[in-house]
Chain A
Amino acid sequence: MNLPLSDIRVLDLTWVVSGPQASRLLADFGAEILKIERPTVGDPVRANHGMFVYFNRNKKAIQIDLNDPEGLNTFKELLLISDVVMENFSSGIMARWGLDYLGLSKINPTIVYLSMPGFGHDGPYKTYQSNGPTIQAISGQTYICGDPDLGPAGWGYSYMDHTAGYLGASAVLQALYHRNNTGEGQFIDLAQYEAATSLMGTYLLDYDVNGKDNATTLNRTANKGVNPAAAPQGAYEGKTPDTWIALSITTDQHWESLTHILKSDVLKNDERFKTFDSRLDNWEELDIEINSITKDLDVIQLAKQLQQENIPASHVQDTVTRAEKDIHLKKRNHITEVEDENGRLVRVDSLPFKMESIPDPDYIYAPQHGEHNEYVFNDILGKDL
């Protein structure tokens, strides 16, 4: 199958999640990803089998010890016949091996080098270490999510590992596009702190120009939806414990439909809820009232009813409903299967876009530690293992 990156080879020194997310996307787009791990110990995420499979499908795995001169030479041989080098170490690690951009570009001047440290390669925090929650904490993403009375809830996972990965893959695609047009390689310093902060712009502008210490307020209202104006907006409990209906009302027409569906005279007639502005002003009482009704309802049925009236609404989907009952994922065959090392079929998620003339890739199970040593060292480099 001829995928867009089928002529691209990537030396992938990334580990854990953010870097592997980036290289997995490039693998899905057809690049040959050589995942380089130490011979004695692989990517620590191998300890979590499901996570490793999810973020390392379609890659080839080889073992090189960069602390060993022979291993370093092998890496440099591969560098000569590769297009991209990528890593997510802290700043300074690659330079210890002489593999910073200066060193790499002397060997292969057209190389594209993506580096994804937490804080970038200069500035006072350049040696600081991070993972997803570190970046989410310092960029304000953790603080902004939650109820101010309860303290920050934050992302319930390493969102920035995904996002840095998305931006990393995007950066490589751009640099390759540029190289194809000009013959020029380059270095990309993807500081995850900066990537995260670039997503928080509206909050920063609101403070900068309005002097509005809005973070705590928005933290409370983000779930209540006054910005953009919506009332009610929230996640309301359903009949079954820990089931929730998310809905968002921005027009009087939708409000009327909602009161009709919920069969509530209080919502229809109470002066506090008569107008859009009064609903915004009384959102706390409104939330209590709505919750008192939804707690006796099936949230999946309610979501269907609300959608029939064009009201933005959904049950809050857990992993099981997404995997087993989501008709929209099913209709587009989004969840597909690959064969694992024992011949069993296991599920993976496809790319979330379809292209007119480029087929979906064939998904291949994540590689064993060093599974492709022979292919790379013997077949590509002509060494005798």
Chain B
Amino acid sequence: MTKIFENITILELSDSAGEYTGKLFAGMGAHVIKVEPPKGSKSRKVGPFYQNIPNLNSSLKFFQNNINKDSITLDITKQTGFDIFLQLLQSIDIVIEDGQKIGQENLPISFKDIQNINKSTILLSLSPLGKTLESENFSTNDFINLAYGGPLWSCGYDDHTIPPMKPYQDASYHISGHYAFMGAMLALMERTKTNTGQHIDLSIHEACHNTTEAAMPAYYYNNRKVGRLTGRHAAPAKTIPVVFKTKDAKWCFIRIPANTNTWNKLIEWLKENEMEKDLGEPEYQELSFRQENAQHITDILEEFCGNNDANYLFHKAQEIDMVWAPVIAPYESLTNEHLEERKYFTKIYHPELNETIQYPGRPYLFSKTPFEITTPAPSLGKDNSRIYGNLLGLTKENLTLLKQAHVV
């Protein structure tokens, strides 16, 4: 199969959001070379770890974000290392950096300097506030990005004495990684017209701010402030609950159908279970009446959920065109029949572990240029010999000397 990025080579100096962007490129065929300090990227030290044993080659988070990539080590804070880095740039299409601290410095080269070496190179910078505000020295991580950017404000419970709740791990890196990927794509497309690269300056804070759905429109256009609501959209006023416990001690997301045909199918289903109560009365045929009595309807549906298993509710509801779904743990997807039939998961052999691990696959399915997972995340410096040999012509002896000098 053709790969969209088979002719694209990327240097990735990243250990958070940029890693995810690099993964999106790597899955579509780009040659992504991870440039790491000799002691390894910070992301290698983040858990959970394979068999719960931390070491530089066992981070499962690192595994997930670095499929299909190569790893070289290089200390670019040393002059020799920096010189090697400049040589590498000559054949590079994109440099991704997310403020990874290498020694005490961020990427010690400006975009202008990069262009002097290779004018078609694209520099993609992901930083907490944007490069133009780098002097602000804003200290952050995934959790703080979400707090400052706005997503955290919307997530939590009706009871506002309970703190806002953080969504899944790395959400802010995914949000900004997606935008960074789009910026890089635009630069690649522009480069085909001009043969010139450019610098993309992405603010993680702005990306998070742009990802809170109705929160900003509610304020911008209606001067209203949203507040947290358990299991449902944050809103200016309280709404009806939509997540209920099921008989099998799980949870189910439900929605009262607005469409009257679908409503009638729901009533038939409730009747089969002797749960329709007064909902079959003619006045419920009017949407406005259903809306006025939403709490009463919801009370009945809550009881209905409590009498049935989550999966039964899901499939039966979907049969009658309702968007209900079980609220289940992430790992339950590993055995999901739908994903299995669509061959969603990819098994990858890790030679250093002598084990095959199952990875969640593509974010999208292209008919002619599919996203593929072909190799596991690299162990630290795994590709030094090949990359330095192929790109720079360095010999084994050269590398030994560089290693002795702690450059690689």
Interface residues of A (CB under 8 A from B): 4-5, 17, 25, 29, 48-51, 53-54, 101, 119-120, 122-125, 127-131, 133-135, 137-147, 150-159, 161-163, 166-171, 173-178, 180-182, 184, 186-191, 193-195, 197-210, 212-216, 218, 222-223, 225, 227-230, 233-237, 241-242, 244, 246-248, 307, 310-320, 322-323, 326, 328-329, 331-332, 334, 346-358
The answer, among B136, B161, B162, B199, for a CB contact under 8 Å with A328, is B136
Report how many residues on chain B are interfacial, defined by Cβ distance under 8 Å. Answer: 147
The answer, among B141, B216, B318, for a CB contact under 8 Å with A312, is B141
| 23 pairs, A vs B, C-beta closer than 8 Å | A17-B213, A51-B214, A124-B341, A133-B242, A137-B326, A139-B330, A142-B253, A144-B330, A153-B231, A154-B327, A156-B156, A157-B214, A157-B234, A163-B174, A170-B182, A191-B365, A233-B143, A235-B166, A242-B160, A242-B227, A349-B210, A353-B200, A353-B202
The answer, among B50, B204, B365, for a CB contact under 8 Å with A209, is B50
Cβ contacts under 8 Å, A236 to chain B: 163
Asked whether, in the complex, the Cβ of B144 is within 8 Å of the Cβ of A352, the reply is: no
Smallest CB separation, B290 vs chain A (Å):
17
Binary per-residue interface labels of chain B (349-376) against chain A in the complex, 1 for a CB within 8 Å, 0 otherwise: 0000001011111111111110000000
Q: List B231-250 residues whose CB lies under 8 Å from chain A.
A: 231-234, 242-243, 245
Binary per-residue interface labels of chain B (92-120) against chain A in the complex, 1 for a CB within 8 Å, 0 otherwise: 00000000000000000001000000000
The answer, among A120, A157, A194, A213, for a CB contact under 8 Å with B331, is A213
Given A154-B155, A356-B199, CB of A4 within 8 Å of CB of B186: yes
A218 to B63, CA, bound (A): 19
Cβ contacts under 8 Å, A141 to chain B: 167-168, 330
The answer to whether the Cβ of B138 comes within 8 Å of any Cβ in the partner chain is yes
The answer, among B130, B196, B364, for a CB contact under 8 Å with A189, is B364
Smallest CB separation, A4 vs chain B (Å):
5
Asked whether, in the complex, the Cβ of B189 is within 8 Å of the Cβ of A323, the reply is: no
A187 to B67, CA, bound (A): 24
Q: List B9-57 residues whose CB lies under 8 Å from chain A.
A: 24, 28, 45-48, 50-52
The answer to whether the Cβ of B154 comes within 8 Å of any Cβ in the partner chain is yes
Q: List B126-181 residues whose CB lies under 8 Å from chain A.
A: 129-130, 132-133, 136-141, 143-144, 147-157, 160-171, 174-176, 178-181
Cβ contacts under 8 Å, A133 to chain B: 232, 242, 253, 255, 323, 325
Asked whether, in the complex, the Cβ of A204 is within 8 Å of the Cβ of B334, the reply is: yes
A97 to B22, CA, bound (A): 39
A328 to B127, CA, bound (A): 13
Given A134-B325, A180-B192, A188-B364, CB of A155 within 8 Å of CB of B167: yes
A134 to B180, CA, bound (A): 27
The answer to whether the Cβ of B339 comes within 8 Å of any Cβ in the partner chain is yes
Asked whether, in the complex, the Cβ of A246 is within 8 Å of the Cβ of B143, the reply is: yes
Q: List B209-228 residues whose CB lies under 8 Å from chain A.
A: 209-222, 225-228
Asked whether, in the complex, the Cβ of B132 is within 8 Å of the Cβ of A202, the reply is: no
Asked whether, in the complex, the Cβ of A154 is within 8 Å of the Cβ of B164, the reply is: no
Given A152-B243, A156-B156, A225-B143, CB of A357 within 8 Å of CB of B167: no
Asked whether, in the complex, the Cβ of A151 is within 8 Å of the Cβ of B218, the reply is: no
A197 to B334, CA, bound (A): 10
Of A151, A195, A204, A354, the most chain B CB neighbours within 10 A belong to: A204
Cβ contacts under 8 Å, A358 to chain B: 186-187, 190, 198
A253 to B191, CA, bound (A): 46
Asked whether, in the complex, the Cβ of B166 is within 8 Å of the Cβ of A223, the reply is: yes
A-B contacts counted at CB < 8 A amount to 487
The answer, among B140, B152, B169, B216, for a CB contact under 8 Å with A54, is B216
Given A177-B4, A228-B47, CB of A346 within 8 Å of CB of B221: yes
Cβ contacts under 8 Å, B287 to chain A: none
Asked whether, in the complex, the Cβ of B64 is within 8 Å of the Cβ of A201, the reply is: yes
Asked whether, in the complex, the Cβ of A320 is within 8 Å of the Cβ of B198, the reply is: no
Cβ contacts under 8 Å, B220 to chain A: 50, 54, 323, 346-348
Of B202, B252, B342, the most chain A CB neighbours within 10 A belong to: B342
Asked whether, in the complex, the Cβ of B170 is within 8 Å of the Cβ of A202, the reply is: yes
Smallest CB separation, A325 vs chain B (Å):
12
Q: Which of chain A's residues has its CB closest to B340's CB?
A: A123
Cβ contacts under 8 Å, B69 to chain A: none
Asked whether, in the complex, the Cβ of B357 is within 8 Å of the Cβ of A209, the reply is: yes
Asked whether, in the complex, the Cβ of B367 is within 8 Å of the Cβ of A357, the reply is: no
The answer to whether the Cβ of B276 comes within 8 Å of any Cβ in the partner chain is no
Known pairs A133-B232, A142-B327, A151-B245. 14 more at Cβ < 8 A? Answer: A4-B189, A120-B365, A151-B243, A152-B327, A187-B367, A194-B339, A206-B48, A208-B357, A212-B48, A237-B163, A242-B227, A326-B209, A328-B205, A356-B200
The answer to whether the Cβ of B302 comes within 8 Å of any Cβ in the partner chain is no
Asked whether, in the complex, the Cβ of B318 is within 8 Å of the Cβ of A202, the reply is: no
Top 10 nearest A-B pairs (CB, nearest first) are A140-B330, A156-B154, A50-B221, A50-B217, A352-B206, A215-B329, A246-B147, A207-B331, A356-B198, A201-B64
Smallest CB separation, B19 vs chain A (Å):
12
